[in-house]
Amino acid sequence: MADERETKCAVCGAPAIGTQVMGCCAAEVCAVHAHPSLLALAPGESRAEGDCYFRRYPAR
């Protein structure tokens, strides 16, 4: 995985706030394109919900 400080959103290219895995698909995403479960996490936290996994990057 790339250095989290350099990771870009897979949708728009903005700086990513975390990684979300939805079943078999994973993507780094910005706050605009993040799932609500990812947005609810504090920096550095992660959470599993069934087949989904969310990891918020630590604060920069």
pLDDT for res 47? 98
Write down the pLDDT at residue 3.
59
Strands laid side by side in the 25-29 sheet: 25-29, 18-22, 52-56, 46-49
pTM: 0.87
Give pLDDT, residue 4: 58
Which regions in the chain score pLDDT beneath 70? 1-5
Maximum separation of any 2 CA atoms in the chain, in Å: 29
